[in-house]
Structure 1
Amino acid sequence: MRRLWLIFAQTVTVCLGVLFLVSTLRPQWLPERDAPSGGTAALSASGRPAPNAAAGQAIVSYAPAVARAAPSVVNVYTRKHVDVPLIPLPPDPGLQQLLRSLPGFTQRQNSTSLGSGVIVRADGYILTNNHVIESADAIEVSLKDGRQATAKLVGADPESDLAVLKVDLDKLPTIVFDPEQSVRVGDVVLAIGNPFGVGQTTTQGIVSALGRNRLGINTYEDFIQTDAAINPGNSGGALIDTQGRLVGINTAIYSETGGSLGIGFAIPSGPAHQILDQIIEHGRVQRGWLGLEPQDITPDLARAFRLKDDRGAIVARVFPRGPAARAGLQVGDILQSLDGQPVRDSFDLLNRLAPMKAGSTAHLGVLRGGKALALDVTVGVRPAVRRPSH
């Protein structure tokens, strides 16, 4: 037994010695090992683990993605005339209006603002935010290659805060949309824009959340939330993935100081592309509309109507001669389903109605006076929101 133990010990010692020599002098002879769970695995260009990357290798630069997308991000400069009071106005709105109408009380001045935009088509179409160009008398864009041009407003959609511009330039660099729309919470993203007018700037972060709504920013909200720094001037710029593909249009920030606090919002590229196509084709966005005003069901309303939960939307208003009125919907009706799928709340109802075409039929499950009803409504076109005059 002692002899066998000595043979075993000598064999192990020789094997360890050979392994040490090989690992020192010829490490390439050894098989590759998977990265440990706490280590840094290599990433593909999309920010996901790369299938063929060596263990321990990691992305150290996003320069290729930025080089691919940055030329298509433009600076947007707007100019408009505003009437500035010569003396402070009183707090009363009626008195303010009266004083503004008096000759010589106000002085017309030029006001300028800045933002960003993204070239989305080689024939000159640019996607930006509506609030960047709203009420502008003149719009100028500046490209990364130094070219400048006057932009024409093709159309705007205040309810999603998107607008489309057009410039007459050739050889325009265009951004590539993410065809899969597969952005996930935790994916690395880059925000490109012109913050504070300092020039084109790129910031990096991750996708913090998806489907953010009820922020009171737009009528239709389905935001990507990111901690990539977005500051004034970034509005209308590009939020890209690590392949340089457009995943969102930077739109707003949550801030008490005016600067980035790590909570920024972008409109997803999928809905933005649909709105772009509609504005180019029709000059405006045509959304499905039932001619009613939905309201969320609060816990108090749920108790008052003796509902089991607060899912659904209650009809707070029916517009005369609208689709809902013609179908017999009434104030107080509770909309529980649309085309066989449950309605979660008023935002869910509006977002699902929006892509429905005019003339199609919406099948509604309605609760009225404790009784379930099935009503069919012919979808209309949502009236356009009037842009403020200037």
Structure 2
Amino acid sequence: MRSTVLSRTRRWLGASALAIIAGVSGVTGAYVLTGSAANAQYQNAAQIVVPQANVQQGFADLVEAVQPAVVSILVEAEAPGRQVERRGRDFNFEFNFPDLPENHPFRDFFDQFGGPRGGQAPDRAPRPRQFMAAGSGFIISADGYVVTNNHVVSDATKVTVITEDGTEKVATVVGTDERTDLAVLKIEGEDLPFVTFEDTASRVGDWVVAVGNPFGLGGTVTVGVISGKGRDIGGSSYGDFLQIDAAVNTGNSGGPAFNVNGEVVGVNTAIYSPNGGNVGIAFAIPASTVKQIVNQLIDTGSVTRGYLGVAIQDVTKDIAEGVGLSTATGAIISKPSADGPAAAAGIKAGDIVLMVDDEKIDDALDLSRTIASHAPDSTVELTLWRDGAETKLSVKLGTLTEEVANATTDEEAPAPEVIEPEVTKTLGMALVPNGDGSGGMLVQSVEDGSQAAERGLATGDIILQVDNQSVASAADFDKAIEGVKGKGLNTALIMVDRNGATRFIGLPLAE
């Protein structure tokens, strides 16, 4: 009978609760009973105890409180038109409604600017193509400052802010920042409802409530959690995005994401989607970044950033092994600008930035964001890894201008001359002295499957340094490699030039 009862109980309650009923003995640990036997769990002494989540019944009160500060943004803009031949006549009727569905009433706007009833003579130049787009934003002050995305208002000829009650107000663009995709608008008003930013950064797993204007449908609310932090989604040199799973769609751009206290944790700015719709992966600019940029835009109308003047890359495991670092962390300087602040302070190629002041640097993007967050002409202390030890240097930062930031070399460097004498075969490569007089060893060929090939070395690359020692001959190269081995290291740090761009590679010495 007892066996039958236990068998039925096992099916009903499960094994965890059954252990209590059956009186199991001789087992170390503790039983945790939460509410009922059905929730009983066996807990080892070292097992983590997770506090019970305080699940709310809903977010209606929060939404009701913050929604008056969330606005829809209607943008009128111009873009170059193009001639389209149709039924023997030319029409300038190409329209762009990136944030509105086909049947949205705003699409009637096209009748004013082209289409079958707005054509133009075939021999006239195309008129600028006018279009309307919709986005989101939120008020951050009682006197009418509004935050949104730069891409919502860029190239706008007119920006209209529509509040929750349907009031329309023409807005002035106070300032924009393309690098962080943020913009500040100003509307007229007094004692306007506004929201504030969070003071303490939210954590992964915290609730998030997104309010915005997807597809022109203002006042839309979606709920989710913060799925990740510190996301680098590309397209932003200073991105440090929150990943959220609250549904964000076209038109939500510039809208706020709130925590359960009604504080803004981020500005919704991008989605990952293979089909244009929400798939549960959206990205928001974190409040810490927004506050910093918005304050500058309100004060001066533009954003200034500190400038170090270096080309940098991540420290890989191979690079770390090649310089004796215990962990792959920091950002390695591949090339300091000749007239930049870093060079003036004595920073050299091969230095690895581990810290800026008291802030640890994880990778190259982290260094870019950290330096950019400092004011021009401010002085920072860099902790560097150089020659197997830490050293410190103080650098007075310059000002990052668009000319400096966008400086690129469009001309390809001339192909290095391949010369025949003194071919050295080592570490899976055939090397010859670089014949253009600039020094280094030219990679003449790379063996398939070799360590060099796996690390990305290719024919035409120029090895400039080994272990921070310049090499211009086979003897130089061999001596530097022996020096690495003499330090007890199994990986050599190699500086490589490819078409004028330098980069460091950690090359294992075992062939």
Q: Which has the higher Rg, Structure 1 or Structure 2?
A: 2
> Is the 1:297–1:311 Cα contact (8 Å) retained in structure 2?
yes
Deviations 1:35-81 (A, max 9, x none): 56988xxxxxxxx966xxxxxxx632211100111111111111111
- 1:220 corresponds to which letter in structure 2? Y
Helix, strand or coil for the counterpart of 1:353? helix
Higher mean alpha-carbon deviation, 198-207 vs 372-381, is at 372-381
Q: Give the alignment's TM-score, normalised by structure 2.
A: 0.58
Distance 2:402 2:371 in 1: 15
- Output the amino acid matched with 2:378: S
**Once structures 1 and 2 are overlaid, which stretch shifts more, 160-169 or 288-297?**
288-297
Q: Partner of 2:218 in structure 1?
A: 199
1:314-346 Cα shifts (integer Å, max 9, x gaps): 223433422112213233433233225542211
Q: Is the 8 A contact 2:306 2:377 kept in 1?
A: no
Distance 1:179 1:366 in 2: 32
Shift of 1:361: 2.0
Asked if 1 retains the 8 angstrom alpha-carbon contact of 2:353 and 2:384, the reply is yes
| 1:28 paired residue number | none
* Alpha-carbon shift at residue 104 of structure 1 (Å): 5.7
Aligned residues: 325
- DSSP 3-state at the match of 2:289: helix
- 1:104–1:335: structure 2 CA closer, same or farther, 3 Å change rule? farther
Aligned equivalent of 1:334: 352
Equivalent in the alignment of 1:170: 190
- Could you tell me how far 1:305 is from its partner in structure 2? 5.3
Q: Which amino acid is 2:227 matched to?
A: S
What is the correspondence of 1:109-188 to structure 2 with a 5 Å cutoff? 109-181=129-201, 183-188=202-207
Query: Identity of paired residues, percent?
Result: 38
State the SS of the aligned residue for 2:169. Answer: strand
Q: Is 1:108 aligned to residue 105 of structure 2?
A: no
Query: Aligned ranges for residues 136-285 of structure 1 at < 5 Å?
Result: 136-181=156-201, 183-212=202-231, 214-285=232-303
How far does the alpha carbon of each residue in 1:238-280 deviate from its partner, in whole angstroms, 9 at most, with x for none?
Answer: 1112232211111111111111100111112222122111111
Match of 1:319 in 2: 337
Report the 3-state secondary structure (helix = DSSP H, G, I; strand = E; otherwise coil) of the residue aligned with 2:265: strand
Q: Structure 2: which 5+ runs fail to align?
A: 1-32, 40-51, 86-122, 407-511
Aligned residue in 2 for 1:71: 68
Structure 2 residue identity aligned to 1:375: L
What one-letter code is carried by the residue in structure 1 that aligns with 2:184?
V
2: CA distance between counterparts of 1:272 and 1:168?
Answer: 22
Change (3 A) 1:301 1:387: closer
User: Taking structure 1 as reference, are residues 37 and 228 closer, same or farther at Cα in structure 2, changes over 3 Å only?
Assistant: farther
Output one character per residue of 1:212-255: Cα deviation in whole Å (capped at 9) or x when no partner: 2x210321122221110000000110111223221111111111
Aligned to 2:128, the other structure's residue is in SS state: strand
Quote the Cα distance in structure 2 between the aligned partners of 1:384 and 1:276.
19
Query: Aligned ranges for residues 85-96 of structure 1 at < 5 Å?
Result: 85-86=82-83
Please tell me the residue identity of whatever aligns with 1:120. I
Gaps of 5+ in 1: 1-32, 40-47, 51-57, 89-102
C-alpha separation in 1, matches of 2:35 and 2:401: 57
The CA RMSD measured in Å over matched residues stands at 2.9
SS in 1 for 2:370: helix
Moved more, 316-325 or 109-118: 316-325
2:331 matched to 1:296? Answer: no
The Cα shift of 1:302 comes to: 4.5
In 2, Cα distance between the equivalents of 1:163 and 1:73? 15
The residue type equivalent to 1:201 in the other structure is T
Residue type of the alignment partner of 1:193: G
Moved more, 287-296 or 74-83: 287-296
Query: What does 1:351-362 correspond to in 2, within 5 Å?
Result: 351-362=369-380
Single out whichever of 253-262 and 105-114 deviates more from structure 2: 105-114
> Relative to 1, partners in 2 of residues 1:63 and 1:386: Cα closer, same or farther, differing over 3 Å?
farther
Cα contact 1:86–1:107 (8 A) shared by 2: no
Per-residue deviation at 1:385? Answer: 7.6
TM-score with structure 1 setting the length: 0.75
| Residues 158-189 of structure 1, C-alpha deviations (whole Å, 9 max, x = no match) | 111111010112331101322333x2222221
- Alignment match, 2:79: 82
